[in-house]
Each structure stands twice: as C-alpha cells, then as structure tokens.
Amino acid sequence: MLDFSDKPYQYFPPRGLGLFATVLTLGNRWYYLPRVHKIASVQITRADRIQPLAAAGDRLIFLPNHPSHSDPAIWIEALRIAGLKTRIMAAYDVFLRSRFNAWVMQYLGAFSVDREGSDPRGMAHARDTIMNGRRGLTIFPEGNVYLQNDAVTPLHEGAAMIGLRAAKELAERGTRIWAVPVSIKLTYLADAQPRVLALLADLERDLKDDLPAAPVESFPLARLRRVATAALHRNLRQRGFDIPAHDDPTELINATAESVLTRLESKMGQAPRPRDSLIDRVRRARRVIHQVRLDPERTADHAPARVWADEAMLAYRVLSYTGNYTASNPTLDRFAETVSKVAEDVYSQEPTPLGRRVAMVRFNDPIDLTTYLDSFKQKARHAVRDLTDAVEEAVQDGIDRLNQANPHPGGSIHLGSAADTI
C-alpha cells in the first residue's frame, strides 16, 4: 500500500468532456491500457441493465471495487464501451503524484476530494453532479488500492451517505437515484509464473537478513509466507515493536495491528471506541493525524505527527492483508497479487504488472435508494450502514461470479501445496 499524503489540500476540478477528452479516452484504450498496464482488453457484462436508467434521466452512483492501480484506466474504458458518462471522485493525493496524470485525470472527468478531512468543494461537486443528472458519479468506496482482487475490503460509508442525502432531495422532485455496485476482476491471460517467481526471488534477496531459516527448495506458497513474514518483522523491528508469536497468519495480523494501534493511540491521547474494528481505529487515527499535520496552529505537533503517520500506515498495511487469502485458493492471480503487494510495501512504489491481463467489469443489479429513505429519515446511521453492506455484498457476489466463469490461466493455475498457508 502506498503512503497517504498529508500535504496541504488542493482542489482539482474536472475539465471539459469534449473532443479532447475523446482523444484521451482513445489514447487510454490503445496505448495506456495495453502498454502501461498490460491489459489486453476490457470486457463488460450487464451494462444493458443500467443504460435504460441513464436514458430515462434517473441518477446513477457507480460504486466499483478498487483492486489495482489500473482501475481508473479500466473504468474509463468500461464507460466508453457502455456509452455511460460519469464524474469520478478521487483522493487529492493521487493528483499530487504527477502533474501530467492530474491533468489527464481532470480532462477525463475526475475531481479531487480529501478523504480524511473536510472538503466542501469536492463534496459540493459530488452533490451537484448527482442533482443535475447530466452524468453519473463514480466513487471507489474501498477508499484505497488493496491489491486483493478476490476479496472486497470493508467499504467506507461516505458513498452511501452522499447517495442517501441526494436521494432525499431528489424524492421531492419525483426523481430516482440508483446505486450501481460494480465488480472489477483482473486475470492473467498466460502463465506469468517466471516473472512472479523472479520478483519473489528479488524480495528474498533484499530481505535475507530477516528471513527465517528454511530449506533451499520449497513450495512457492511457503516461500511467499516466509517473505511476507520477513517484511513484517523488519517493519516491526525498525520501529521498536516486539514481534508477536503467532503461527496462524490471521492471528499474527490482528495481534500486530493491535500492538501498533495501542501504542499509537496512547501517544495521540486517543481511546479506542468499543464498537470500532481494527480498521475503523486506523481510519480514525489517520483522520486525526491528517488534521494535525495540516493545522498551522499546531506546528509543535507536526514532528511527532510524522511518527504517528508512519505507525498508522504500518497498521493500515498490516490490516490490508487477509491471512488465508492466497492459501484458500492459490491461483496464479492471487499469488501474483500477493507477491506484488509485498513488493509494494517493501519498496514503497507501485509494482509493475507481471504479465498480460484481461479486465472483466460486471455491472451488478442497481439498488433503488428510495427504498432506504424511510429508514434514513428515522435513523440515518442505520440506513447508511445497511446500504453500505448491501453494496459490499453485491460487489463481492459479482467478483465471485466473474471468477466462476473465468476461462483464463490466471484463475486456473495453482501454486503451492494445500499444507502451506499465507
């Protein structure tokens, strides 16, 4: 997982969607997708269930999963094929990574939002996009790239709140708004094992001082577990944490995150709330840290807040792993994802795709937000949570269905043995 930025917020508005945007869209199709992201094609299904809603003037909020750094380019192409238009909400730190990429994103309809702070301009643009109805709104509710395509990470509730507030206003006009869960699945078109194992060997070399002793020859899945554990141990050792003694990967992940968060919250003077999950605690800590680092009146706290940010990011990275994700179904897709994920955390840079892939995009059944309005008016929090859960379930179901019909090597080649776990 790449670091989040705590640089001063800048608002990046979307630009015009005319001829120039069309040129960029075609450039995305013919150059950016195949050359940069190694995506041979984008295949969409069930868009015919959404197109009539757009044609009728209903409002649409598209809610895709966010499994890879290729998703914006995939989504732009999926929209082109489906003949749909949306504005796309994106974290402002993505725009700060490259002036050229920011410029392209704006002309393709993206605008920035501060995911961890107050951002009236971004939120106002999201509302206006929904209300005027000329195009839909896209939000990636996972909030970050987790490189874990087959398992949806718990969604942020902000997208549901935006949608239900708009639905409440639109109901007075007799206009409907639909949440459209979208499932994105990437899979390898050929056997990418040589490149995947070469990257794994690079990690073994660079983490050799932290690798536990093991036989020279072992199954790929066992090697991956050793590398992932070594990367975790190095991060903990460098920050003065004890290494939890757990053989079970899930228990190790939870114990590590608990240890990091307990120390971090103590430093920040922040007590965990009883109902908060570990990921909720990380997100809450990140919001506080972000506010402190951007507050000009708290300059004395800026130096310790940098340390807090580093530890919060460590907890975030640890929790972005699922203990049995690869071992439960060690396909080439999952194995390559996890190797790339470890590499991203070790080298702090976006990994290069390890082979040619195809992206499958499934438009799941739209959810009529008016059905949640009675609940929203009575207990907004419950309605927001229920809608978020419904979207998450639909996105996961769509991914599962794409996997069941996946004819490509990425979903059929398996690595490792059933005895190994990661």
Over residues 352-364, the pLDDT tens digits come to: 999 999 999 999 9
For residue 236, pLDDT beyond 50: yes
Look at residue 21 in the predicted model and tell me its pLDDT: 87
Look at residue 246 in the predicted model and tell me its pLDDT: 79
Residue range 266-281: mean pLDDT, rounded: 90
Look at residue 58 in the predicted model and tell me its pLDDT: 95
For residue 422, pLDDT beyond 50: no
Over residues 95-108, the pLDDT tens digits come to: 988 888 899 999 99
Percent of the chain's residues with pLDDT above 70: 96
For residue 291, pLDDT beyond 50: yes
Lowest mean pLDDT among 160-174, 296-310, 406-420: 406-420
How far is CA 323 from its chain centroid? 18
Look at residue 218 in the predicted model and tell me its pLDDT: 73
Look at residue 1 in the predicted model and tell me its pLDDT: 66
For residue 67, pLDDT beyond 70: yes
For residue 196, pLDDT beyond 50: yes
For residue 269, pLDDT beyond 60: yes
Q: How confident is the model at residue 242 (pLDDT cuts 50, 70, 90)?
A: confident
For residue 227, pLDDT beyond 80: yes
Q: How confident is the model at residue 385 (pLDDT cuts 50, 70, 90)?
A: very high
Residue range 342-348: mean pLDDT, rounded: 94
Look at residue 418 in the predicted model and tell me its pLDDT: 45
For residue 316, pLDDT beyond 60: yes
Mean pLDDT of the chain: 91
Look at residue 216 in the predicted model and tell me its pLDDT: 57
Look at residue 81 in the predicted model and tell me its pLDDT: 97
Look at residue 113 in the predicted model and tell me its pLDDT: 92
pTM, 2 dp: 0.93
Q: How confident is the model at residue 193 (pLDDT cuts 50, 70, 90)?
A: very high
Please give the backbone phi and psi of residue 137, each rounded to the nearest 5 degrees, phi first: -125, 130
Q: How confident is the model at residue 17 (pLDDT cuts 50, 70, 90)?
A: low
- 359 forms beta bridges with 42, 186
Look at residue 217 in the predicted model and tell me its pLDDT: 54
Residue range 139-159: mean pLDDT, rounded: 94
Residue range 229-241: mean pLDDT, rounded: 91
Percent of the chain's residues with pLDDT above 90: 74
Residue range 44-59: mean pLDDT, rounded: 95
Q: How would you write the chain as a 3-class SS string?
A: CCCCCCCCCCCCCCCCCCHHHHHHHHHHHHHHHHHHCCEEEEEEECHHHCHHHHHCCCEEEEEECCCCCCHHHHHHHHHHHHCCCEEEEEEHHHHHCCHHHHHHHHHCCEEEECCCCCCHHHHHHHHHHHHHCCCEEECCCCCCCCCCCCCCCCCCCHHHHHHHHHHHHHHCCCCCEEEEEEEEEEEECCCCHHHHHHHHHHHHHHCHHHCCCCCCCCCHHHHHHHHHHHHHHHHHHHCCCCCCCCCCHHHHHHHHHHHHHHHHHHHHCCCCCCCCCHHHHHHHHHHHHHHHHHCHHHHHHHHHHHHHHHHHHHHHHHHCCCCCCCCCCCEHHHHHHHHHHHHHHHHCCCCCCCCCEEEEEEECCCEEHHHHHHHHHHCHHHHHHHHHHHHHHHHHHHHHHHHHCCCCHHHHCECCCCCCCC
Q: What domains, with CATH codes, occur in the chain?
A: 19-190+352-412 (3.40.1130.10), 194-347 (no CATH)
